[in-house]
Amino acid sequence: MRKTSSSQLVQIGAGPDAAAEGGRRRREPRPDWLRIRLATPEKFQQVKKLVGNLSLNTVCTEARCPNIYECWGEHGTATFMILGDTCTRRCGFCSVNTGRPAPGVDVDEPEHVAQAVASMGLSHAVITSVDRDDLPDGGAGHFRSTIEAIHQRSPECAVEVLTPDFRGFEGALETVLAARPEVFSHNMETVPRLYREARPGSSYDRSLDLLGAAAQKVEAGEYPGRVKTSIMVGLGERDDEVYATIRDIREAGVQVLAIGQYLQPTRNHLPVDRYVHPEQFAEYRDYAMSLGYLHCEAGPLVRSSYHAHEHVPDAMKPQSV
Protein backbone atom coordinates (compact mmCIF):
# COMPACT_ATOMS: atom_id res chain seq x y z
CA MET A 1 0.00 0.00 0.00
CA ARG A 2 1.36 3.43 -0.96
CA LYS A 3 1.82 5.73 2.03
CA THR A 4 0.38 9.23 1.99
CA SER A 5 2.87 12.05 2.39
CA SER A 6 2.19 14.39 5.33
CA SER A 7 2.18 17.31 2.92
CA GLN A 8 0.30 15.68 0.07
CA LEU A 9 -2.40 17.64 -1.69
CA VAL A 10 -5.70 15.77 -1.47
CA GLN A 11 -9.23 16.27 -2.72
CA ILE A 12 -11.96 15.83 -0.15
CA GLY A 13 -15.53 14.64 -0.16
CA ALA A 14 -16.93 11.74 -2.13
CA GLY A 15 -17.80 14.11 -4.96
CA PRO A 16 -20.93 14.37 -7.11
CA ASP A 17 -22.29 11.55 -9.20
CA ALA A 18 -23.45 13.14 -12.42
CA ALA A 19 -26.04 11.29 -14.47
CA ALA A 20 -24.61 9.64 -17.56
CA GLU A 21 -26.01 7.79 -20.54
CA GLY A 22 -27.44 4.33 -20.06
CA GLY A 23 -28.62 4.99 -16.53
CA ARG A 24 -25.09 4.79 -15.14
CA ARG A 25 -23.59 7.54 -13.03
CA ARG A 26 -20.13 8.94 -13.58
CA ARG A 27 -17.77 10.62 -11.18
CA GLU A 28 -17.33 14.32 -11.82
CA PRO A 29 -13.81 15.54 -11.07
CA ARG A 30 -13.46 18.01 -8.23
CA PRO A 31 -12.06 21.44 -9.07
CA ASP A 32 -8.65 22.64 -7.98
CA TRP A 33 -10.05 25.03 -5.37
CA LEU A 34 -11.22 22.04 -3.32
CA ARG A 35 -7.71 20.76 -2.79
CA ILE A 36 -6.33 20.90 0.73
CA ARG A 37 -2.88 20.23 2.08
CA LEU A 38 -2.80 17.20 4.36
CA ALA A 39 -0.47 17.93 7.25
CA THR A 40 -0.22 16.29 10.66
CA PRO A 41 2.39 18.25 12.64
CA GLU A 42 3.05 17.82 16.36
CA LYS A 43 0.25 20.18 17.38
CA PHE A 44 -2.26 18.12 15.38
CA GLN A 45 -1.15 14.98 17.21
CA GLN A 46 -1.36 16.77 20.57
CA VAL A 47 -4.96 17.84 19.97
CA LYS A 48 -5.88 14.37 18.73
CA LYS A 49 -4.36 12.76 21.83
CA LEU A 50 -6.04 15.20 24.21
CA VAL A 51 -9.47 14.65 22.66
CA GLY A 52 -8.98 10.89 22.86
CA ASN A 53 -7.73 10.87 26.46
CA LEU A 54 -10.79 12.81 27.64
CA SER A 55 -13.19 10.62 25.60
CA LEU A 56 -14.56 13.66 23.79
CA ASN A 57 -16.38 13.81 20.48
CA THR A 58 -15.59 16.52 17.95
CA VAL A 59 -17.52 17.59 14.91
CA CYS A 60 -14.11 17.85 13.24
CA THR A 61 -13.91 14.06 13.01
CA GLU A 62 -17.57 13.03 13.17
CA ALA A 63 -18.59 15.33 10.31
CA ARG A 64 -15.33 14.80 8.38
CA CYS A 65 -14.53 18.50 8.32
CA PRO A 66 -12.05 19.45 5.57
CA ASN A 67 -10.40 22.04 7.80
CA ILE A 68 -9.30 19.64 10.55
CA TYR A 69 -5.64 19.79 9.48
CA GLU A 70 -5.62 23.59 9.61
CA CYS A 71 -7.58 23.92 12.85
CA TRP A 72 -5.90 21.10 14.78
CA GLY A 73 -2.48 21.47 13.22
CA GLU A 74 -2.01 25.23 12.80
CA HIS A 75 -4.36 26.81 15.34
CA GLY A 76 -4.70 24.05 17.94
CA THR A 77 -8.48 24.48 17.98
CA ALA A 78 -11.37 22.03 17.82
CA THR A 79 -15.16 22.11 17.79
CA PHE A 80 -16.42 19.89 20.60
CA MET A 81 -19.56 17.84 20.08
CA ILE A 82 -21.50 17.13 23.27
CA LEU A 83 -24.48 14.89 24.10
CA GLY A 84 -22.95 11.76 22.60
CA ASP A 85 -22.17 10.69 19.05
CA THR A 86 -25.60 9.43 17.95
CA CYS A 87 -28.16 11.80 16.44
CA THR A 88 -31.92 11.25 16.59
CA ARG A 89 -32.38 12.70 13.11
CA ARG A 90 -31.16 11.54 9.72
CA CYS A 91 -30.07 14.50 7.61
CA GLY A 92 -29.10 13.53 4.08
CA PHE A 93 -25.86 15.52 4.12
CA CYS A 94 -24.45 14.60 7.53
CA SER A 95 -22.04 11.77 8.37
CA VAL A 96 -22.71 11.75 12.13
CA ASN A 97 -24.14 8.46 13.43
CA THR A 98 -27.93 8.29 13.57
CA GLY A 99 -30.22 6.10 15.65
CA ARG A 100 -31.31 5.76 19.25
CA PRO A 101 -28.79 7.34 21.66
CA ALA A 102 -27.92 5.82 25.00
CA PRO A 103 -30.37 7.17 27.59
CA GLY A 104 -29.44 10.25 29.59
CA VAL A 105 -26.28 12.33 29.28
CA ASP A 106 -22.70 12.08 30.47
CA VAL A 107 -22.70 14.30 33.57
CA ASP A 108 -18.90 14.51 33.50
CA GLU A 109 -18.77 15.76 29.92
CA PRO A 110 -19.07 19.52 30.66
CA GLU A 111 -16.06 19.39 32.97
CA HIS A 112 -14.09 17.26 30.50
CA VAL A 113 -14.74 19.78 27.72
CA ALA A 114 -13.74 22.62 30.03
CA GLN A 115 -10.55 20.75 30.90
CA ALA A 116 -9.71 20.34 27.21
CA VAL A 117 -10.36 24.02 26.52
CA ALA A 118 -8.07 24.99 29.40
CA SER A 119 -5.36 22.53 28.35
CA MET A 120 -5.39 23.88 24.82
CA GLY A 121 -5.31 27.47 26.07
CA LEU A 122 -8.21 28.47 23.82
CA SER A 123 -9.46 32.04 23.65
CA HIS A 124 -12.50 30.92 21.62
CA ALA A 125 -14.23 27.55 22.07
CA VAL A 126 -16.98 26.17 19.84
CA ILE A 127 -19.49 23.70 21.31
CA THR A 128 -22.03 21.84 19.18
CA SER A 129 -24.06 18.65 19.56
CA VAL A 130 -26.07 15.95 17.91
CA ASP A 131 -29.86 16.33 17.94
CA ARG A 132 -31.29 14.77 21.08
CA ASP A 133 -35.06 14.78 20.59
CA ASP A 134 -35.27 12.04 23.23
CA LEU A 135 -34.36 14.46 26.04
CA PRO A 136 -37.09 16.55 27.73
CA ASP A 137 -35.24 19.80 27.01
CA GLY A 138 -33.47 18.68 23.84
CA GLY A 139 -30.15 18.93 25.67
CA ALA A 140 -30.39 22.64 26.50
CA GLY A 141 -29.45 22.09 30.13
CA HIS A 142 -26.31 20.19 29.11
CA PHE A 143 -25.29 23.09 26.86
CA ARG A 144 -25.73 25.47 29.79
CA SER A 145 -23.61 23.27 32.08
CA THR A 146 -20.85 23.09 29.46
CA ILE A 147 -20.77 26.83 28.88
CA GLU A 148 -20.65 27.50 32.62
CA ALA A 149 -17.87 24.95 33.14
CA ILE A 150 -15.73 26.57 30.44
CA HIS A 151 -16.32 30.08 31.76
CA GLN A 152 -15.48 28.98 35.27
CA ARG A 153 -12.26 27.18 34.35
CA SER A 154 -11.19 29.58 31.56
CA PRO A 155 -12.84 32.95 32.30
CA GLU A 156 -10.92 34.60 29.44
CA CYS A 157 -12.34 32.19 26.83
CA ALA A 158 -15.23 33.21 24.57
CA VAL A 159 -17.75 30.40 24.03
CA GLU A 160 -19.68 29.86 20.82
CA VAL A 161 -22.52 27.34 20.84
CA LEU A 162 -23.99 25.71 17.75
CA THR A 163 -27.25 24.18 18.95
CA PRO A 164 -30.00 22.06 17.44
CA ASP A 165 -33.48 23.57 17.10
CA PHE A 166 -34.59 21.77 20.30
CA ARG A 167 -37.75 20.90 18.35
CA GLY A 168 -39.44 23.92 19.89
CA PHE A 169 -39.05 22.72 23.49
CA GLU A 170 -40.34 25.57 25.65
CA GLY A 171 -37.62 27.42 27.52
CA ALA A 172 -34.70 25.70 25.75
CA LEU A 173 -33.34 28.88 24.19
CA GLU A 174 -33.64 30.77 27.46
CA THR A 175 -31.76 27.98 29.26
CA VAL A 176 -28.81 28.19 26.86
CA LEU A 177 -28.68 32.00 26.76
CA ALA A 178 -28.80 32.18 30.57
CA ALA A 179 -25.20 30.89 30.54
CA ARG A 180 -24.19 33.88 28.40
CA PRO A 181 -22.33 32.29 25.48
CA GLU A 182 -20.55 34.97 23.50
CA VAL A 183 -22.07 33.59 20.26
CA PHE A 184 -25.35 31.71 19.82
CA SER A 185 -25.54 29.78 16.56
CA HIS A 186 -28.00 27.43 14.90
CA ASN A 187 -27.53 26.30 11.30
CA MET A 188 -30.21 26.83 8.67
CA GLU A 189 -28.18 24.54 6.36
CA THR A 190 -30.11 24.96 3.10
CA VAL A 191 -32.98 26.65 1.26
CA PRO A 192 -36.63 25.93 2.17
CA ARG A 193 -37.37 23.79 -0.88
CA LEU A 194 -34.71 21.21 0.03
CA TYR A 195 -35.64 20.74 3.68
CA ARG A 196 -37.83 17.68 3.12
CA GLU A 197 -35.00 15.82 1.42
CA ALA A 198 -31.96 17.23 3.22
CA ARG A 199 -33.32 17.82 6.73
CA PRO A 200 -36.22 15.44 7.46
CA GLY A 201 -37.51 16.08 10.96
CA SER A 202 -36.46 19.73 10.81
CA SER A 203 -38.35 22.83 9.74
CA TYR A 204 -37.10 25.93 7.92
CA ASP A 205 -39.57 28.14 9.78
CA ARG A 206 -38.76 26.59 13.17
CA SER A 207 -35.03 27.15 12.66
CA LEU A 208 -35.61 30.71 11.48
CA ASP A 209 -37.90 31.38 14.46
CA LEU A 210 -35.24 30.13 16.90
CA LEU A 211 -32.64 32.46 15.44
CA GLY A 212 -35.15 35.30 15.36
CA ALA A 213 -36.01 34.79 19.03
CA ALA A 214 -32.31 34.94 19.96
CA ALA A 215 -31.83 38.07 17.85
CA GLN A 216 -34.80 39.73 19.56
CA LYS A 217 -33.12 39.18 22.92
CA VAL A 218 -29.98 40.85 21.59
CA GLU A 219 -32.00 43.83 20.38
CA ALA A 220 -33.83 44.06 23.71
CA GLY A 221 -30.56 43.99 25.64
CA GLU A 222 -31.42 40.69 27.33
CA TYR A 223 -28.55 38.82 25.66
CA PRO A 224 -25.19 40.54 25.02
CA GLY A 225 -23.83 38.08 22.45
CA ARG A 226 -24.06 37.64 18.71
CA VAL A 227 -26.38 35.42 16.67
CA LYS A 228 -25.00 33.35 13.81
CA THR A 229 -26.00 30.71 11.26
CA SER A 230 -24.59 28.79 8.30
CA ILE A 231 -25.84 27.44 4.98
CA MET A 232 -24.40 25.10 2.35
CA VAL A 233 -24.57 25.29 -1.41
CA GLY A 234 -24.30 22.43 -3.86
CA LEU A 235 -27.30 20.41 -2.70
CA GLY A 236 -29.48 21.36 -5.65
CA GLU A 237 -30.51 24.90 -4.78
CA ARG A 238 -30.69 27.74 -7.32
CA ASP A 239 -28.80 30.98 -6.79
CA ASP A 240 -32.03 32.97 -6.48
CA GLU A 241 -33.01 30.66 -3.61
CA VAL A 242 -29.64 31.23 -1.95
CA TYR A 243 -30.09 35.00 -2.10
CA ALA A 244 -33.65 34.72 -0.77
CA THR A 245 -32.45 32.59 2.15
CA ILE A 246 -29.64 35.04 2.93
CA ARG A 247 -32.30 37.77 2.99
CA ASP A 248 -34.68 35.76 5.21
CA ILE A 249 -31.92 35.13 7.72
CA ARG A 250 -30.90 38.78 7.89
CA GLU A 251 -34.52 39.90 8.27
CA ALA A 252 -34.74 37.59 11.29
CA GLY A 253 -31.97 39.65 12.88
CA VAL A 254 -29.02 37.29 12.47
CA GLN A 255 -25.70 39.13 12.54
CA VAL A 256 -23.13 36.58 11.32
CA LEU A 257 -23.39 34.20 8.35
CA ALA A 258 -21.16 31.41 7.01
CA ILE A 259 -21.63 29.92 3.52
CA GLY A 260 -19.74 26.85 2.32
CA GLN A 261 -19.66 24.13 -0.31
CA TYR A 262 -21.49 20.87 0.43
CA LEU A 263 -19.23 17.84 0.03
CA GLN A 264 -20.74 14.36 -0.03
CA PRO A 265 -19.32 12.43 2.98
CA THR A 266 -20.03 8.95 1.54
CA ARG A 267 -21.89 7.39 -1.36
CA ASN A 268 -24.86 6.85 0.97
CA HIS A 269 -25.40 10.60 1.38
CA LEU A 270 -26.97 13.15 -0.93
CA PRO A 271 -24.88 13.74 -4.07
CA VAL A 272 -23.25 17.06 -4.82
CA ASP A 273 -25.32 18.88 -7.42
CA ARG A 274 -22.70 21.48 -8.35
CA TYR A 275 -19.37 22.92 -7.34
CA VAL A 276 -19.76 26.63 -6.71
CA HIS A 277 -16.90 28.80 -7.96
CA PRO A 278 -15.03 30.98 -5.43
CA GLU A 279 -16.14 34.08 -7.36
CA GLN A 280 -19.76 33.15 -6.72
CA PHE A 281 -19.01 32.80 -3.02
CA ALA A 282 -17.59 36.33 -3.13
CA GLU A 283 -20.87 37.52 -4.64
CA TYR A 284 -22.83 35.81 -1.86
CA ARG A 285 -20.62 37.53 0.71
CA ASP A 286 -20.98 40.95 -0.93
CA TYR A 287 -24.75 40.57 -1.04
CA ALA A 288 -24.89 39.54 2.62
CA MET A 289 -22.80 42.50 3.71
CA SER A 290 -25.01 44.84 1.70
CA LEU A 291 -27.96 43.65 3.81
CA GLY A 292 -26.27 44.67 7.03
CA TYR A 293 -24.63 41.49 8.33
CA LEU A 294 -21.77 42.30 10.68
CA HIS A 295 -19.67 39.46 9.25
CA CYS A 296 -19.98 36.91 6.44
CA GLU A 297 -17.50 34.08 5.87
CA ALA A 298 -18.05 32.55 2.42
CA GLY A 299 -15.93 30.10 0.45
CA PRO A 300 -15.71 26.49 -0.77
CA LEU A 301 -14.11 25.15 2.42
CA VAL A 302 -15.97 27.37 4.88
CA ARG A 303 -17.81 25.55 7.68
CA SER A 304 -19.87 26.99 10.52
CA SER A 305 -16.96 27.20 12.95
CA TYR A 306 -14.28 28.11 10.40
CA HIS A 307 -12.28 31.12 11.70
CA ALA A 308 -15.02 31.51 14.32
CA HIS A 309 -12.86 33.66 16.57
CA GLU A 310 -12.46 36.34 13.90
CA HIS A 311 -16.02 37.67 14.11
CA VAL A 312 -16.05 38.26 17.88
CA PRO A 313 -14.71 41.77 18.56
CA ASP A 314 -12.37 42.32 21.51
CA ALA A 315 -15.03 44.31 23.32
CA MET A 316 -17.24 41.19 23.52
CA LYS A 317 -14.56 38.82 24.78
CA PRO A 318 -14.61 37.90 28.48
CA GLN A 319 -11.21 39.42 29.27
CA SER A 320 -12.46 42.77 28.00
CA VAL A 321 -15.53 42.85 30.23
Secondary structure (DSSP) of 252-304: TT--EEEEEE---SSTTSPPP--PPPHHHHHHHHHHHHHTT-SEEEESTT--T
- What is d(CA 242, CA 281) in angstroms, rounded to the nearest whole number? 11
Poorest-confidence range of 193-202, 233-242, 260-269, 307-316?
Answer: 307-316
Amino acid identity at 206: R
Question: How far apart, in whole angstroms, are the C-alpha atoms of residue 55 and residue 84?
Answer: 10
Q: Indicate left, alpha or beta for 161 from its phi (over 0: left) and psi (-120 to 50: alpha).
A: beta
Q: Taking the model in full, what pTM does it have? A: 0.81
Domain boundaries, the chain: 9-305
Radius of gyration of the chain (CA): 19
Residues of the chain with pLDDT > 90: what percent? 58
b/e code 159-197 from CB counts within 10 Å (16+ = b): bbbbbbbbbebeebbebbbebbbbbbbbbbbbbbebbee
How does residue 36 score in pLDDT terms, banded at 50, 70 and 90? low
CATH architecture of 9-305: Alpha-Beta Barrel (3.20)
pLDDT, mean of residues 52-73: 52
pLDDT band at 11 (very low <50, low <70, confident <90, very high): very low
Lowest mean pLDDT among 197-206, 209-218, 301-310: 301-310
Mean pLDDT of the chain: 82
Distance CA 201, CA 107 (A): 27
